[in-house]
Amino acid sequence: MARPGVELSVTALAQRAGTSLPTALRELGRAERARMVASRRLGNTRLVRADPSNPLYNPLRELVLATYGPPAVLARELGPVARVRRLYLHGAWVAAYRGQEAADAEELELLVVGRPDRSRLAAATARAGSQLGYPVRVEVRTEEEWGEVREGLVRRVREGPHLSLLEEPVPWTWAPGRAVVEALLLRGALEAGEPAPGLSDELLEAAGRHLHSAQVLRAEDPASARQLASEATLKACAALLALQGLSPTQEGGEPALLEAAEAQFGGEGGPEALRSPAGLRRRQGEVSHLSRPLPGADDAEEALSSAAAFLVEALRLRRSGRLGRFRVPD
């Protein structure tokens, strides 16, 4: 999904996923039945590509890109290299990602600002390229050279389509939600501790797995698909609070988690996709009641679309560095 239109053999996909051929065949069969991928035969080779006819193609593609796409992988591999100050992905891939160009890029173009060790930078670049299936072309400029806005490459990056992969965290205050969170803390429904980015990442990955399973079950078992979509939203909420060092107590439970998430991220000025996590969970509770009819495929698709959009925004917020420890008043 990260490279629409690109076809890969089953063998190539199994190698990239680090799994066996039988496992790859089984999973691809499930994905094709769910219309996540399409395949065709070319001689004895089965070629597989993403299926853009799926109504959930766009949010799922965003989810894949946010988790496993070039911005996430490049930041993860090159960001920790010592003396790398900034990373800018630019050029054709970014233009295609933003819809400014239709064709897929043949390579990834990256500008590294700083004074990194070239051998470690090359090793990190090779790892990223291997994971992504793209050649990665890297140019390095010092911070002084980055300040020279008339220099050819610097000017092209600044003025052309680009994504900043390593920016200084931007302070983000949650004025409307702060009072709600403080009240939840005061009554013992939430507790504050150390920020847990590792736990946040685990929860976001689990949410992504829930959505994948929900997509596979959407047609065969829409009730289970909707439940999984709801669980994905709940885990995404917990992941955002974990970045702040916040978690619900046993007494507060799920209601406190949802109230804190909706109060902070669901207000005016926040992304629309983050505005109704509690609403999604309430609707799930309504349709799960035994006296009500079970949800159909359309209900499951609506829940999946909302949950996928929510998770994409949560992943973007995680990568932005804008969420830090919730400061408890003295």
Q: What tokens appear for 14 in the block?
A: 């199994």
Q: Output the pTM of the full model.
A: 0.66
Tell the residue number behind the tokens 């709940």, with chain if given. Answer: 234
Give the other-Cβ count within 10 Å of 28's Cβ. Answer: 18
* Cβ–Cβ under 8 Å, residues 87 and 121: no
CATH architecture of 69-164: 2-Layer Sandwich (3.30)
To which CATH superfamily is domain 175-320 assigned?
Nucleotidyltransferases  domain 2 (1.20.120.330)
Amino acid letter, 70: P
User: Contact 193/242 with Cβ under 8 angstroms?
Assistant: no
Asked if 81 and 159 touch (Cβ cutoff 8 Å), the reply is no
How is the chain split into domains, by residue range? 8-54, 69-164, 175-320
Give me the tens of pLDDT residue by residue for the chain, a chain 330 residues long. Answer: 666 678 889 998 888 777 898 998 888 888 888 788 889 999 989 999 888 887 777 777 777 777 778 888 898 899 889 899 899 999 988 888 776 554 567 899 999 999 999 999 999 999 999 888 889 999 999 999 998 877 889 999 999 989 888 755 444 444 568 889 999 999 999 999 998 988 998 898 888 888 888 888 877 888 888 889 889 999 999 999 999 999 999 999 999 998 898 888 875 544 555 655 554 454 444 434 444 555 566 777 888 888 888 888 888 777 766 778 888 766
8-54 fold: Arc Repressor Mutant, subunit A (1.10.10)
